[in-house]
Amino acid sequence: MTIFDWCRHCGNHGPMTEEHLPPRVAGNRSPITVYNEQDGALTVLRSFEAGHTIPSLCRADNNKASHRGLPEAYALWRDDTIGHLREAAAAFHHSSGQPHNDLFFIAAREGGAFTLPMEHGTKLGSEHITNLNPGKIVRQVLGMMLAVQDTRYLLDTQPQLAAAYHSDEPTSIEPFALHLALAGSGLCYFRNGVLSVSVSLTGQGASSTEFWAVSFPPFLIFLTSGPKAPIEATRIDRWLGYPVSRAFSKRDRKMRYPIADPRELLVAKLYQDQQRLEEMGG
């Protein structure tokens, strides 16, 4: 499908191509139906026969991502993370007797999210299995976030975002930030910013931040207008400090990702909608 619109990465007007989100190399090849919720009712937004796509990038920018190796780096990172999740789920099942997928619904004993430690690029020991590139990974994540936007707001008012995506050298998106949690909530994304408000009980007043989100399992990813995420999450925009040619350092291979706390209203809503789709046969 080709439509005339504007490219979410460069802003140019012209014919847009269908971009696979998440990348095709990350398993996005199967039939899928995307729903939209309005006034509590789910309606079909669009059905896809060979993976979810969005006609939001010009051909040049769509091709550049593959030439830079961004989708492939994201897919390797995803595979590595899923490997750690499977090991954790097996241990969880062995110790609790609960189904493996219930790992996504546990929380820390002292409250808050359960955090899963992992070391990227290793297999239960010191065996090196792949050279993961955090600079490529985080640029692919940022590019996907920009690609789902419904308006030009981020492109026109926050030029550092597109500039960081296109740069192969160390860079930053401050004051914006990218955060990651783990979830099995299915594919979804917010096409516009959402206002998150936190009320202080110490008399310091309320604070607010805008955030944008995509859920491409097993990742729940947030772009925020400030340093804080709407839920407990690991900040990954510091990986933009890596040039795309460098692999993870020994320090950064060791990561801790929170499993999205199902007691959070936003997370509970995502799982509720997924259950509704399953009941509908979606």
pLDDT in tens, 41-66: 777 778 889 989 999 999 999 999 99
pLDDT in tens, 226-276: 999 999 999 999 999 999 999 888 888 899 999 999 888 888 888 887 776
Task: Determine the pLDDT at residue 42.
Answer: 74
pTM of the model: 0.90
Task: Determine the pLDDT at residue 188.
Answer: 85
Confidence of residue 278 (pLDDT cuts 50, 70, 90): low
Task: Determine the pLDDT at residue 171.
Answer: 98
> Which whole number is the average pLDDT over 105-132?
74
Q: Is the pLDDT of residue 128 over 50?
A: no
Q: Specify the pairing of strand 53-58 against strand 13-20.
A: antiparallel
Task: Determine the pLDDT at residue 198.
Answer: 54
CA distances, 184 to each of 1, 109, 139, 174, 229 (Å): 29, 21, 23, 29, 19
> Which whole number is the average pLDDT over 12-26?
93
Confidence of residue 123 (pLDDT cuts 50, 70, 90): low
Boundaries of every domain in the chain: 69-280
Q: Is the pLDDT of residue 37 over 80?
A: no
pLDDT in tens, 173-227: 999 999 999 998 888 888 777 766 555 555 565 567 899 999 999 999 999 999 9
Task: Determine the pLDDT at residue 1.
Answer: 46
pLDDT in tens, 60-97: 999 999 999 999 999 999 999 999 999 999 999 999 99
pLDDT in tens, 242-254: 999 998 888 888 9
